[in-house]
Copies of this chain bind each other. A is one copy, B any other.
Amino acid sequence: MQTVPIALLGCGTVGSGVVRMLTEDAEFLAQRTGLRFDVRYVLALQANPKARVALTGAKWVTSMDPILADKDVGIVVELIGGTTFALECSKAALSAGKALVTANKAMLARHGGELFPLAHSTDSCIGFEAAVAGGVPVILGLRDGLVANRIRAIYAILNGTANYILTEMTGANKPYEQALAEAQAAGYAEADPTYDVDGIDAAHKIAILAGLAFGEDIAFDRIRIEGIRGLQLDEIVNARQLGYVIKMLAVAERMSDRRLSLRVHPCLVAKDNPLASVDGPFNAISMFGHAVGHVLMYGRGAGQSPTASAVVSDLVDVAIGHARRRFQSLKIWPGKTRPAQIVSTDNLVSRFYLRLQVADQPGVMAQVTRILGSHQISLSSVLQKEVPLTGPVNVVITTHRAREGDLRAAVDEIDRLPVTKAATAWLRVIDLPAEGIDAGDEWNRKE
């Protein structure tokens, strides 16, 4: 049996969940892993009272100094969150050669380029399974399980709050504002939901996944981010009628010219796509590799217990020695890889959904289709919704594959028409790629 002294930074929801797991499940973990984790320090201004009672032997501190000075403590678990004090503490821990385990996606997405090289320079390591998709072991699966795959694309639902709101809008025809208010009341959304509904949190997570998947350094500010704030119920209802569900997807794709497309946005997903049935607070990640084809992982992306489960799996990984060896061996970490070339979404090609609000008069559709045609956009379907006798008409259009830049230009032009009564709503329609498993036909041919 090996005792592993650790320091815990932050003792809020996730931190106290980790304390609970390490104390209530100590015997189970010891029996399974041969490890006994000993929380020697907790750096927290306020602490969950139960955690304070459970950790009889811990020193409660308010600075990193005693932790850094204690040579026995080889692992620091950062669960403070944010990118100021947490970053400062994390850098101090890594500088002192201590392994860092963290659930802090914002910090890794924005400062990974600083933290990972620092970890290498002190022969340390960073465990971050809890930073993406909570209890779903997607970091492990992507980094280790699919290590031999050239990843072609990742399509993921990575924000449970936004997905919960969209699920409520879809399932119960609730407008966005009502669904958000109810999510806040149920504890699924924070008082300030910006990070979640505006797609920033999902962007942090796809930045981390893309870095691992493609082995390139991701500049976070190059990710295109569009959230669900302002999404109208009309879009949800129309999508359903067309056989789609609207999901906020985080997407990372390798283009044919080897550049990357990285983005977060609401989009139409066909009903039979596995991601379409990922409801409520769940997360799911569809990954496409050249050898494995489509692999999907699904589970709870947040919450005290699922996140603590991921943190403790990282603790075991670090304590066994895997994390350090992996850090030394694999060349997929920021600082070891080249910067990614990221394409503008204007150059992406996809299908589109549009909802126009136009005057109900002859010749309108002719004007609209002329504009779309002049931008090389051809129509796949047109649906004119029944409306009250007065007021503008809603026209729902889906297009064949077109360049996004062309679509934007066409929409700008349509919105300047005198017959257009309100800004056109438009969304991307996502088609998952064919699996494209490298079947090695030449190898498999019978001779």
The answer to whether A298 and B300 have CB atoms under 8 Å apart is no
A25-80 interface (Cβ within 8 A of B): 25, 28-29, 31-35, 48-51
Asked if A317 is an interface residue, CB under 8 A from chain B, the answer is yes
Cβ contacts under 8 Å, A442 to chain B? 50
The answer to whether A141 and B137 have CB atoms under 8 Å apart is yes
Asked if A227 is an interface residue, CB under 8 A from chain B, the answer is no
Cβ contacts under 8 Å, A316 to chain B? 144, 147-148
A398-447 interface (Cβ within 8 A of B): 437-440, 442-444, 447
Complex CA–CA separation, A2 to B331 (angstroms): 13
Stretch from A256-264, A303-311, A341-349 that touches the partner: A303-311
Task: Using known A-B contacts A144-B313, A274-B298, determine if residue A438 contacts B305 with beta carbons closer than 8 Å.
Answer: yes
Asked if A270 is an interface residue, CB under 8 A from chain B, the answer is no
Complex CA–CA separation, A51 to B443 (angstroms): 8
- Identify A440's interface contact among B17, B145, B331, CB under 8 A: B17
The answer to whether A145 and B137 have CB atoms under 8 Å apart is yes
Cβ contacts under 8 Å, A329 to chain B? 2, 33-35, 320
The answer to whether B440 and A147 have CB atoms under 8 Å apart is no
Complex CA–CA separation, A136 to B140 (angstroms): 12
Cβ contacts under 8 Å, A28 to chain B? 150
Mark contacts of A277-314 with chain B using CB atoms, 8 A cut-off: 1 yes-contact digit, 0 otherwise. 10000000000011111111111100111101110110
Complex CA–CA separation, A290 to B325 (angstroms): 30
Asked if A13 is an interface residue, CB under 8 A from chain B, the answer is yes
Q: Which residue of B lies closest to A447 (CB)?
A: B49
Mark contacts of A206-222 with chain B using CB atoms, 8 A cut-off: 1 yes-contact digit, 0 otherwise. 00000000010000000
Q: What 15 new A-B contacts, CB under 8 Å, besides A48-B443, A140-B144?
A: A17-B440, A51-B443, A135-B292, A137-B146, A144-B317, A145-B313, A147-B313, A149-B309, A274-B277, A274-B298, A289-B309, A290-B305, A295-B300, A304-B439, A306-B437
Pull 27 A–B residue pairs with CB atoms less than 8 Å apart, ordered by A: A2-B329, A13-B444, A21-B291, A32-B147, A33-B147, A33-B329, A34-B331, A50-B442, A134-B292, A136-B292, A136-B295, A141-B297, A145-B310, A147-B312, A148-B312, A148-B313, A149-B309, A291-B306, A292-B300, A292-B306, A293-B299, A293-B305, A295-B297, A296-B296, A305-B437, A305-B438, A321-B325
Q: Which residues of A contact B (CB under 8 A)?
A: 2, 13, 16-17, 20-21, 25, 28-29, 31-35, 48-51, 129, 134-137, 140-141, 144-150, 215, 272, 274, 277, 289-300, 303-306, 308-310, 312-313, 316-317, 320-322, 325-326, 329-332, 437-440, 442-444, 447
